[in-house]
Amino acid sequence: MSRRTSVERPGAREWVPDEPDERSLAEGIQVCRGCELYRDATQGVPGQGPVDAAVMALGEQPGDQEDRQGIPFVGPAGRLLDRACEEAGLDPSVVYRTNAVKHFRFDPGRAGKRIHKRPGRVHVTACGPWLVAELDLVRPRGVLVLGATAGGAVFGPSFRIGESRGRPLEWPADGIGSEWSPSWVVATAHPSAVLRSRERDRDYARLVADLELATSLLSGAARPPAVSADRAASRPGSSPG
């Protein structure tokens, strides 16, 4: 695109308020210039949900509808996720929804259509300070990683959904810079990938099964991954389960 003569990506950190609350986070994201994605997007899309939510659902980036409305997971992928949560017994009122990247990345298509473009590692890294701030605000017991971009934001670029789903994962030992360490992570496919899948029924069932694991971890019916003793001791504010 024509405007890409020099791309500045200082990262979001300087826009993150010192002691953020829900409102100052949302305001900060609107004025963030941590990477170039703010330029073409309608607005930034902060996380949404109860600030004392037990679970953080982490997606990739806002889609077309989310970009227009300023709310995460309001489009088709979000509706699929809602339905799957309901089937899995995961109460939506305990889920805070957010994305690894807060501005919509897209390519211009024909007739004003905007075509989703996966955010790059550079965008995930630039936007990371907002995710850290959301984690420290919400302090969720568990994180639901939706797809490869979200997985990369937590575990780094070598993360693969196929190898990681189906069992509770431990929050990475070196963290992502948050003070808070969730007790578990459940990784699953991105709901958009389920929507696009040629084996949609099978992939939807697998999504529901992964969400059921999160439900079981919340209720105590499944155990979170064991944490090594020295890590447990150094964990700020962690609570069992």
- Residues of the shown chain interacting with ligand SF4 in the complex, contacts defined by CB under 6 A: 12, 29, 32-35, 37-38, 44, 101-103, 123, 126-127, 130
CB atoms within 10 A of CB 86: 13
Among ligand URA, ligand SF4, none, the one that 63 touches (CB under a kind-dependent 5 to 8 A) is ligand URA
Shortest spacing between CB 121 and ligand URA, in angstroms: 16
> Is residue 106 within the footprint of ligand URA (CB under 6 A)?
no
User: What's the token pair of residue 160?
Assistant: 């693969």
Closest CA to 94 of 139, 61, 127: 139
Kindly tell me which of 22 and 82 has the beta carbon lying closer to ligand URA: 82
Provide the b/e sequence for 122-151 (b: ≥16 CB within 10 Å). Answer: ebbbbbbbbbbbbbbbbbbbbbbbbbbbbb
> Is residue 46 within the footprint of ligand URA (CB under 6 A)?
no
> Is residue 63 within the footprint of ligand URA (CB under 6 A)?
yes
Q: Is 231 exposed, middle or buried (0-12, 13-18, 19+ CB in 10 A)?
A: middle
Shortest spacing between CB 115 and ligand SF4, in angstroms: 18
- The piece of 9-17, 60-68, 198-206, 230-238 that touches ligand URA (CB under 6 A) is 60-68
Q: Is the Cβ–Cβ distance between 129 and 34 less than 8 Å?
A: yes
Closest CA to 25 of 37, 16, 33: 16
> Is residue 60 within the footprint of ligand URA (CB under 6 A)?
yes
For the chain, how are helix, strand and coil distributed in percent, rounded to 5? 45, 10, 45
> Is residue 72 within the footprint of ligand URA (CB under 6 A)?
yes
Among ligand URA, ligand SF4, none, the one that 44 touches (CB under a kind-dependent 5 to 8 A) is ligand SF4
- Judged by CB under 6 A, which of 66, 203, 210, 212 binds ligand URA? 66
Among ligand SF4, ligand URA, none, the one that 32 touches (CB under a kind-dependent 5 to 8 A) is ligand SF4
Kindly tell me which of 35 and 227 has the beta carbon lying closer to ligand URA: 35
Kindly tell me which of 119 and 224 has the beta carbon lying closer to ligand SF4: 119
Task: Region of 11 please: left (phi>0), alpha (psi -120 to 50) or beta.
Answer: left
User: What's the token pair of residue 177?
Assistant: 């810079």
Residues that bind ligand URA (CB under 6 A): 59-63, 66, 72-73, 75, 77-78, 99, 192
